[in-house]
Structure 1
Amino acid sequence: MGHSLLCMMGFFYKPKAELRADRTAVPVGGSVTLTCSLSPSSSSSSSSGWKYYWYRYDRYYKLVTSPDAVFLSNEQISVSEGGRYSCRGERGEPVYYTEDSETVWIDTTVSNRPVVTLHPNWSEIYKGETITVRCEIHGGDTEWDYEWETNSTIKPPNQTEYRIRSASSSNSGNYRCKGRMKSSQHKTTEWSDSVTLTVSDNKPRPVLTVSPSWLSPGASVTLNCQVEHPSAGWSFYWYKAVPDLSEKSSSYELLPDGSGTAQDSYIIHGQTHTAGYVCRAGRGDPEYHTDHSQPKFVWSADVHSAASLTVSPDRVQHFTSDSVSLTCEGNFTEWRVRKFSEDGRLSDCRRMTGSTCNINTSESDTGVYWCESGSGEFSSAVNITVQNDGNGPILVSPVHPVTEGASVSLSCSLRTQ
């Protein structure tokens, strides 16, 4: 009974060959070593006496012979052409075959070189921008299927380019690609070098500088707008700040020829009165815009504007805890007094009574002050300094400039006299 069971097992059991390759692709000018053996599950059978044969599939399986391979030993061959390979063992007379091995796919690496490019070529872009990641394969007129590899959250489709219409941080990562010939599917390029795409979730805010800060007669005003990555395709938009007292803010009015300039600077000729400016930048197609910059001001001491500012007591320097009133005058009904402090902060007067701002001075009140009317007029600007030495003297000098040739009285004052 035991003998007949063994016979039945011998009749039904057939060992299987196993094919292993030392690499999955033939490098340019190189080769791949294939090894055939009995699979581990067949190890109970005797492994001696087998002669191994290799087959390559090209529309049908064909026996691999020299010179298509270099026969290194009974178990090993070296091949320099890609394709689908399998093997099997044979022994005995009459010949007994193992089961065929599983098919192993070996690619042939061609010399065409893939390159990943970004269009536009910005290594860092911002959330919401549009950018295209492209796989370009140089050399010959071959048509390709494309494969991408990336550590980003979203994998590109297997096409020559990946258009990201509204980028997010999920698109950040390294991208590389390779091509497979449409006409010969086992021929493939090497992987390209990686290109890093960084998508920032922060919306950029440009920084505006204004020079000079104080107007002198006949001077031009130069605005300069800086974005974090200044060389990366930005164009610039230039605006004048128009006071909007109902919203406690400003609206922005485009300056003449101030739409989409290529230069990051803008020159204003003939400015005579105090004014505020902002800029922003845009790039891409469709165009992506940054936030507006913080407003920056150019101040005029000219008293011939439609609005004016009166300071009481009429002096530049003040002691701490002085009561100072700043009154806006002109043919307007609504006013606000604004301050630009030494640390660069812009603020509105907190204690307005009608057209007058009342200050009980402290060191933080040092800054430039001016009035803005509800209809968009700016007054001349004044410097106010609050002395930081409680026992020191102050210079008593008029807040506004004096006319050339006029007499002026200067004096020193202590808090006690």
Structure 2
Amino acid sequence: MGKNKQELYSVTEWSDVITLTVSERHPVLTVSPSWLSPGASVTLNCDVEHPSAGWSFYWYKVIKQEINRLYKYELLPGSISGTAQDSYIIHGQTHTAGYVCRAGRGDPEYHTDHSQPKFVWSADLNSAASLTVSPNRVQHFIYDSVTLNCSGNSSQWRVMTFTQHGYLRKCGDLGIMTESTCNLRWFQDTVSWCESESGQFSNGINITASYTDVILLSPVHPVNEGDSVALGCKLRTGNFNSTVAFYKNGKLIQNDDREKLNIPAVSKSDEGFYKCDYSGHESPESWMSVKGSRSSLSVSLITGLVSGMSLILLLSLLLCCWHKKSKGDLFIYFYFIY
């Protein structure tokens, strides 16, 4: 006897609803230091959202493509198969450069998205291009007219900016770009630099947009040891009619009626964060960088060469005297004065 179609299968009630969430892991790249001393080592760290064993990390340098002017990522040496460590050290970094990372695990390997680019900036002017700012200072009032200009060994440059919120933008998005010059119409705290079509980078400069009534006048580029430097304090409107205070790393170093802090011969110990205060109105802080002068490097090199030659001559003389002494011909005593 056959069965009815309704008896061939049965249907249960619906289960409870559950939500399945697939989370993409976006690694976060950090760089240290973000501002270079020439030839310094740079450490990259790649952090995933939920770190656990089994991750491999891949490290890339940001390269600008000439055709579409977009960026591409080029694997760094030793990173083709990934690294077990979530950090990567770059030795001898001398110029501005951008980096990204990503992570992967499993078999077959699942890869995260690339991190947001992070840049390491060099303030050194001895590069393929140089970026200058007018007015020539770090801090500017929010409605100031500011001009950035690129110059170098390439016919075409563009000014790039990295904002305080971590966005990479063309300078033309914040103003008007004419050939290699960018006139900012509105801006925020940024680091700016020049890029050529062949992917060369210039020095980087800090630009601070201030909403305060007072700004600090400080050099944009690093100053050489031995140079004289004058830091100033500037009001948005009006003139100073009482004392002006200057601070270094939060410590008061001058408090009188002078509008400038004069440093006649800068040394490495003068490097630090500076700000000024007038009638309770403080400027933002700005970092003043100091680098060794070429003259001091030359003196050190010459001193080293002279010392080395003196040591060689002294050893030769000692060897000669020892040889003569062994034959009973000559005795010489040396007195070393410390």
Q: Hey, what does 2:224 align to over in structure 1?
A: 403
Determine which structure has the larger helix proportion and give its number.
Answer: 2
1:358 maps to a residue whose letter is N
Cα pair 1:319 1:361 within 8 Å, conserved: no
Distance of aligned partners of 1:285 and 1:394 in 2 relative to their CA distance in 1, 3 Å threshold: same
Measure how far apart 1:337 and its partner are: 1.7
Q: Does 2:133 match 1:281?
A: no
* Residue of structure 2 equivalent to 1:298: 120
Give the C-alpha shift of residue 245 in structure 1.
5.9
CA deviations 1:238-273 (Å, max 9, x no partner) are 000012365343111111112211111100010011
Once the two structures are TM-superposed, the CA of residue 309 in structure 1 deviates from its matched residue by 0.3
Pick one of 305, 308, 312 that aligns with 2:130. 308
Q: Once superposed, what is the RMSD of the aligned Cα atoms?
A: 2.3
* Pairing 1:384–2:207 present: yes
1:375 positional shift: 0.7
> C-alpha separation between the residues in 1 aligned to 2:28 and 2:65?
22
Please tell me whether residue 212 in structure 1 is matched to residue 33 in structure 2: yes
TM-score, structure 2 as length reference:
0.60
Displacement of 1:345 after TM fit?
A: 2.3
Percent identity for Structure 1 against Structure 2: 66
Tell me whether 1:272 sits opposite 2:94 in the alignment.
yes
The answer to whether the 8 A contact 1:245-1:335 is kept is: no
Alpha carbons 1:327, 1:356 under 8 Å: kept: yes
Q: TM-score, normalised by structure 1?
A: 0.49
What amino acid does structure 1 have at the position aligned with 2:196?
A: S
Deviations 1:87-143 (A, max 9, x none): xxxxxxxxxxxxxxxxxxxxxxxxxxxxxxxxxxxxxxxxxxxxxxxxxxxxxxxxx
* Contiguous gaps of at least 5 residues in structure 1: 1-150, 154-172, 174-197
In the TM superposition, residue 340 of structure 1 has moved relative to its aligned partner by 1.8
Runs of 4+ more than 4 Å apart: none
Which protein has greater RCO, CA pairs closer than 8 Å, 6+ apart? 2
User: Residue 69 of structure 2 contacts residue 197 of structure 2 at CA under 8 Å; is this kept in 1?
Assistant: no
Return the match for 1:227 from 48, 51, 62.
Answer: 48
CA radius of gyration, larger in = 1
CA displacement, residues 340-397 of structure 1 (integer Å, 9 cap, x when unaligned): 22222222212211111110245xx2121111111111111111111112xx222222
Rounded Cα–Cα distance in structure 1 between residues aligned with 2:47 and 2:16: 30
**Unpaired runs of 5+ in structure 2?**
1-14, 239-338
2:196 equivalent among 354, 373, 380: 373
Q: CA contact under 8 A between 2:131 and 2:151: conserved in structure 1?
A: yes
1:300 is matched by which residue type in structure 2? S
Structure 2 equivalent of residue 242 of structure 1: 63
How many aligned residue pairs are there? 220
Counterpart of 2:243 in structure 1 is none
